[in-house]
Chains A and B, each alone.
Chain A
Amino acid sequence: MTGTTARTTNRALDLSTGVGAAYAARMLAEVGWDVVKVEPPSGDPLRDEESRWGGGRGGAFAFANYGKRGIVADESQILELAGAAHVVLGDFSPSGCHDSQISAGMFAALEPRRAVASVSAFGLTGPRANWASSDMIVQAASGLMFLTGEADQPPMQLPPYAAAVTGGLAGAAAALAASRSAAADGRVRRVDVSMMEAMATHTYGQTTNYVYNGEVARREQCVKQALRMVPASDRFVYCAPGAVANVDMRGVAVLLDEPRLTEDRFQTAEGRMQNYQEYLDLFVPPFQRKTAQEWFEEAERLHLTFSLVQTVDDLFACPQVAARESLRQVTAPDGRVVAMPGRPFRMEGGPPEALRPWPAHPGEHTEEVLKEWLVSE
Chain B
Amino acid sequence: MDRPLEGIRVLAMEQAVALPFATRHLADLGAEVIRVESHARARPPTLTETDLVRNKLRWGLDLGVEGAADLFRRVAANVDIVAHNFTPRVMRKFGIDFEPIRAINPDVIYLSLTGFGTTGPWGERPLFGPGAEAVSGHNVMIGEPDAWPGRPGTIVYADNNTGLNALVAILAALDHRDATGEAVHIDLSLYEAGIAHIGAAVTERAFGGALPERIGNSDPRYLVHDVFDAQGTDRHVAIAAHEDDRSALARALGLTEVTRDAVAAAVAGRTAEDVAETLQHAGVAAYIVSDPSDQSLDPHLWARGFFGLLGEDEPHPHHGPAFGGGIDLELNPARAVGQDNRYVMSSIGGLTDEEIAAAEEVGSTGAAPNRGPVVRPPTTPEQYAIRLDRGELSRVDEVHDRWREVSS
Which A residues lie at the B interface, using CB under 8 A? 4, 6-7, 10, 19, 27, 31-32, 49-60, 62-64, 122-123, 125-129, 131-134, 136-162, 165-166, 169-174, 176-181, 184, 189, 191-194, 196-198, 200-222, 224, 228-229, 231, 236, 238, 240, 243, 273, 300, 305-316, 319-321, 323-324, 326-327, 338-341, 344-351
* Interface bits B189-221 vs A (CB < 8 Å: 1, else 0): 101110111111111111111111101110111
B289 / chain A contacts, CB cutoff of 8 Å: 140, 145-146, 155
A346 / chain B contacts, CB cutoff of 8 Å: 117, 186-188
Q: Is B98 an interface residue (CB 8 A)?
A: yes
B209 touches A4 (CB 8 A): no
A320 touches B120 (CB 8 A): yes
- The 10 residue pairs across chains A and B that have the minimum distance between CB atoms: A56-B209, A147-B153, A56-B204, A59-B204, A307-B131, A151-B391, A31-B172, A148-B153, A214-B400, A197-B324
A209 touches B324 (CB 8 A): no
Q: Is B150 an interface residue (CB 8 A)?
A: yes
Given A151-B390, A220-B391, A229 and B139 contact (CB-CB distance below 8 Å) = yes
A214 touches B398 (CB 8 A): yes
A160 / chain B contacts, CB cutoff of 8 Å: 141, 198, 200-201, 212
B296 touches A210 (CB 8 A): yes
**Max count, chain B CB within 10 A of own CB: residue among A134, A193, A221:** A134
B2 touches A202 (CB 8 A): no
Distance in angstroms between the alpha carbons of A128 and B201 in the assembled complex: 29
Interface residues on B, range: 35 or more
A219 touches B153 (CB 8 A): yes
B230 to chain A, nearest CB (A): 11
B51 / chain A contacts, CB cutoff of 8 Å: 204-205, 208
A194 touches B324 (CB 8 A): yes
* Interface bits B227-249 vs A (CB < 8 Å: 1, else 0): 10100001011101000000000
B327 to chain A, nearest CB (A): 9
A254 to chain B, nearest CB (A): 18
Given A55-B208, A178-B1, A216-B291, A201 and B221 contact (CB-CB distance below 8 Å) = no
B140 touches A347 (CB 8 A): no
B16 / chain A contacts, CB cutoff of 8 Å: 243
In the complex, chain B residues 245-291 whose Cβ is within 8 Å of any chain A Cβ: 280, 283-291
B173 / chain A contacts, CB cutoff of 8 Å: 347, 350-351
Could you list 10 examples of A-B contacts with CB < 8 Å? A63-B200, A134-B285, A177-B171, A180-B171, A189-B2, A206-B154, A222-B148, A222-B151, A236-B148, A312-B201
Q: Is B395 an interface residue (CB 8 A)?
A: yes
Q: Is B94 an interface residue (CB 8 A)?
A: no
A153 touches B164 (CB 8 A): no
A323 / chain B contacts, CB cutoff of 8 Å: 119-121
B212 touches A60 (CB 8 A): no
A185 to chain B, nearest CB (A): 9
Which single member of A134, A165, A214, A315 contacts B197 (CB below 8 Å)? A165
Which single member of A170, A177, A198, A240 contacts B131 (CB below 8 Å)? A240
A189 / chain B contacts, CB cutoff of 8 Å: 1-2
A347 touches B291 (CB 8 A): no
A347 touches B169 (CB 8 A): yes
